Chains A and B, each alone.
Chain A
Amino acid sequence: MATLAGRRDETAGARTLVLDVPGWPGHLPGQHVDVRLTAEDGYSTQRGYSLASAPGTERIELTVQQVEDGEVSPYLVTDMAVGDQVEVRGPVGGWFVWTPDATEPVLLVGGGVGLVPLMSMVRTRRAENSQAPFRLIYSVRTPADRLFVPELLDGAGTETAVLYTRSAPEGAERAPSRLRAEDLVAHGWPADRAPTCYVCGPTGFVEHAAGLLVGLGHAPERIRTERFGPTGG
C-alpha cells in the first residue's frame, strides 16, 4: 500500500511520484515495482515502473512518462492527487541491478525515459559514497525531453554526456543523431577496463546500443539490458 506524498514535474510528459510505503523493505537500484490500480467496480490492472530513488527510507520515487492513450500512466501522471492510495508490490527484478559494494567501472547508457533505473544507480552511488567510477551516456530527443539534467550535471559524481537525436541546444558541437560507436568511445569506458554496462531504453535503442558495445569489444555477459516501450501504458 502506497500513499502519494508529493510529485514533481520533470518534463511536459513525465512526472516523479513520491510515494510513502510503510514497511518498504528497501531495494537495489535498477529494480522496479508493480503498481496495481483498481476501479470502483473491482476491475484492476497493473504495470511495472522502475524505481528512480536511492534506497534507505520508506519513501520511494517513480518517474513515469505518460503514454499517449495509455491505460495506467495518464492516471498516475495526471489524475492521481496527493493523499491518494495505490497498491505497490516490490521491489522486483534481480538482474538489472547495481550493488553499492561493487567497485568495477560502470557504464550507464540510457535512451529517453530509460534513464530512470540508471538514475537510481547514480543516486545510490552518491548516497553510499561509492568510489566506483561511473559514466553515463544519455540519449534524448530534444533538450525539452531531458530528465534530471540539473542534478546530473551538478556534482552527481557521475561523468555525464547528454546526446541529442532530434535537436540539440544552440551551440552544441555534436549534430543531432542516434547513438554512434564514436559516442561510446568518447564518453564510455574502453573495453579493456571491463566495465559493467547497463543499457535501458526503448527496444530499438537497446538493440542498437548493445550491438555497438559488443562491436567495441565489450563482453556480452557484462552488458545488462532492460527495455521500455510504448507498450506498458
Chain B
Amino acid sequence: MPVISRGFHGRRRPDQDRLPPGQYEVRDFPVLSAGPTPMVRTDDWEFTVVSESGARHRWSWADLMALPSEQPTVDLHCVTKWSKFDTHWEGVSLDRLLEDVDTQASYALVHSYGGYTTNLPLEDLRHGRAWVVHRYDGSDLSPEHGGPARLLVPHLYLWKSAKWVRGIELLTEDRPGFWEGAGYHSYGDPWREQRYRGD
C-alpha cells in the first residue's frame, strides 16, 4: 500500500492516459547530459555501423542527407520523470541504415561523440521505431539536444536516444552502456517503469 501524503492533492492532467507510470508532462524541453556538450562539425561528422564480424559501414554527413528522410512525431519519456508529447523530428530510419548490414547480432551498443554509450536489443532499432535525427521542430538540431545528429528511440526512456551519435556496434552478447553500468535498467521500457537495475 502506498503511503498517503496527508494534504497532497496533485495535479492530474487531461492527457493522463498518455503518461507512463510515474511520469508528468512538461511543455519545455529539458536538457540532461553527463558532461560538456561536444561541438561536432558536420564536415567532420561520420556515422558507422560495425557488425560482429568487423565489417564497417560508414556514412558522411552528405551521405546521410542524401538518404530518404522521415518526419516522426513522437512522445518522449525521460527517466527523470518528465514526458513531452508530440515532438516533431526529421531524420533517417535505422531500417534504412541497417538494410545492407549483414549480421546475426542480437544487441547494439550505440556510441556518441564525447564517449557516451548506451545498449539496446538490435530488434528495438528496427521496424520503424528508431531514427538518426538531425532536425527538431523545423530547425537543425541544436548541440545541447544532441546536434548535429542524435538517435531517436522513443519507445524507450530517452537516455537510449543517444545524443551526438557517431555509430552502432553490433554484438552477439549484451554489453552495458554508460547509464546501464551506473545502476540504470538495461532495457528501459517506460510503460513497465524500468528505471533502475532490478525494476
Contacts and interface: CB of A to CB of B under 8 A. Distances in A.
Contact of A38 (B3, B36, B81): B3
Interface in B147-199: 178-179, 181-183, 196
Contacts of B178: 95
Interface in A206-220: 207, 210-211, 213-214, 220
B34 A96 contact: yes
A93 B183 contact: yes
B43 interface: no
B55 interface: no
Contact of B3 (A1, A45, A80, A96): A1
A71 B36 contact: no
A203 B30 contact: yes
A213 B24 CA distance: 34
A112 B114 CA distance: 27
B5 A86 contact: yes
A229 to B, nearest CB: 5
Contacts of A224: 34-35
B39 to A, nearest CB: 9
B10 interface: yes
B4 A38 contact: yes
A71 B31 contact: no
Interface in B1-60: 2-12, 22, 24, 26, 28, 30-38
SS class, residues of chain A in contact with chain B:
mixed
Contacts of A79: 7-8
Contact of A87 (B3, B10, B24): B3
Contacts of A81: 6
A211 B37 contact: yes
B124 interface: no
Contacts of A85: 3, 5
Contacts of A36: 2, 22
B80 interface: yes
Contacts of A43: 10, 12
A21 to B, nearest CB: 13
Given A38-B8, A44-B2, A71-B10, A231 B30 contact: yes
Contacts of B37: 207, 210-211
A75 B8 contact: yes
A75 B38 CA distance: 38
B128 interface: no
A44 B26 contact: no
Contacts of B196: 92
A186 interface: no
Contacts of B36: 210-211, 213-214, 220, 223, 225
Interface of A: 1, 34, 36-40, 42-48, 71, 75, 79-81, 84-87, 92-96, 203, 207, 210-211, 213-214, 220-221, 223-225, 227, 229-233
29 contacts: A38-B2, A39-B4, A39-B9, A42-B2, A44-B10, A45-B81, A46-B22, A46-B81, A48-B81, A71-B10, A75-B5, A79-B7, A81-B6, A84-B5, A87-B3, A207-B37, A211-B36, A211-B37, A213-B36, A214-B36, A220-B38, A224-B35, A225-B35, A225-B36, A229-B28, A229-B30, A231-B26, A232-B80, A232-B82
Closest 6 CB pairs of A and B: A94-B182, A210-B36, A38-B2, A37-B5, A203-B31, A94-B183
